[in-house]
Amino acid sequence: METSLRELIDEYLMELEGLRGASPHTLRAYRTELETLAASLGREGRPATLGDFNVKSLRAYLARRRRGGDAPATHARRRSVLTSFGRWLVERGRLESDPALLLPRVRTRGRDLPEFLTTRQAAKLVEAPLHLPEPGFIEHRNALIDNLMAECDLEGNVLAALTIDDVEVESGRLRPGGIDGIEGPVLKMAEAVRRRLDRYLELRAGLPPRCERLLLNGGGRALAPRDIPPASRAHRRFRLRRQRDHALLELLYGAGLRAAEAVGLTPDSLDFEAGLVTVHGKGGVWRITPTGSAALRAIRAYLELRPEIDPRRDALFANYNGAALTTRAVGLIVKRYAALAGIERPVSPHTLRHSFATHLLEAGVDLRLIQEMLGHRKLDTTAIYARVAAGRWREAYEKAHPRAGLQADLFNG
């Protein structure tokens, strides 16, 4: 009985993950491609076997994919996966030679230049969480509740019992009733809380109030004591998400990280004194890269709030359940704030990485230093950013070099 191709694929992928440290993204891509191949090579319900992994079958498979619309670059990636798998089969003594090496190559265009943001666009994007649209009535109410609980040390039953007559906005005084109707002491609100109360009352005036209680729901009815703690938690979560997203965006741009690298960070990955980040990069390679003061400030502010979500597995960037953010979540966060920043084109986490490299190169940073910061194995991979910056370098050269315009001057003189 011939060996099942799927079993060999599973064995290959396990080795890629365990011994070679392939990233989850790489493993998903390889699994998808190889399982698609196995399904294609099987015939009339018969699972594909090692014998089906031959030049004729592989040529037919790639031809079908090309007819299905594969671009040259996609064809090249498929061929690369098949060649890698075939080489592994040879190394393990399953085949004498790699049939994928005999597959035709398709000439691809030169690598597309990476998309990047201007410095102004990048700044607007990473600061977008700090400039969210004006929150509505519910958000202001929740923030006021959280402020009064924290600043004035008031419990839920006392807050729920407050009436409009218990507050003086101009003086910032609060006269809460005590438990069982016993009048409590006069409290002085901090200026920030007083301003929040003032704005909340403006929004409250737009509701159809059904009672004189201070804290209402969206229908104008009074909140019950049991409603107070959830409202406070909702505000803390909003504040936490805003600060987490700001820290994440600053770090993606400030250190040129991949999304997968960012979600793999822990608080111990950061050296605040030296301004460095230890990154577990592509292919399981560790590197240390610098990041800016803006990112470090944002991360510090986020870490002050982070314990509220009780993060698991010590992930630096966590969701409300304490689990590490996924790369998909990072992509959605970037897209959301790019839209809020008014950037009218697709933006991904990798766009920020490209922007990081391009802006450093334009500022005169050595290409080899950028290579190390990005974690590229080959300088050729980093050199593509020189093509991006070449146009601007030419403009700077024309303005700065004493002989840049000499020929024109001579012939026009």
User: Has this prediction a pTM greater than 0.75?
Assistant: no
pLDDT of amino acid 23: 73
Which of 192, 224, 229, 199 is closest to 135 using CA atoms? 199
Q: Going from the N-terminus, what domains does the chain have, and what CATH number goes with each?
A: 5-102 (1.10.150.130), 137-232 (1.10.443.10), 235-399 (1.10.443.10)
Task: Cite the active site residues.
Answer: 258, 282, 350, 353, 376, 385
pLDDT of amino acid 289: 92
Beta bridge partners of 318: 324
Distances (CA, A) of 304 to 247, 263, 294, 299, 307: 12, 19, 16, 9, 7
38 contacts 82 by C-beta, under 8 angstroms:
no
For the chain, the first-to-last Cα distance in angstroms comes to 87
Which of 77, 76, 63, 88 is closest to 30 using CA atoms? 77
pLDDT of amino acid 401: 63
Which of 316, 124, 320, 152 is closest to 228 using CA atoms? 152
256: left (phi over 0), alpha (psi -120 to 50) or beta: left
pLDDT of amino acid 112: 58
Other Cβ atoms closer than 10 A to 365? 13
pLDDT in tens, the chain (413 residues): 578 899 999 999 888 877 666 777 788 889 999 999 988 888 766 888 888 899 999 999 998 988 888 888 788 888 989 999 999 999 988 888 999 888 887 665 555 556 889 999 999 999 999 988 878 899 999 999 999 988 888 888 989 999 988 888 888 888 876 444 445 678 888 898 899 999 999 998 888 867 889 999 988 889 999 999 999 988 988 899 999 999 999 999 999 999 999 999 999 999 999 999 999 888 778 999 999 999 999 999 999 988 887 766 688 999 888 888 999 999 999 999 999 999 988 999 999 999 998 888 888 888 888 888 888 877 777 776 666 666 555 566 666 666 555 444 544 54
The owner of tokens 């698609």 is 36
- Tell me phi and psi for residue 344, to 5 degrees: -95, 55
pLDDT one-digit tens code per residue, 269-313: 999 999 999 998 887 789 999 999 999 999 999 999 888 877 666
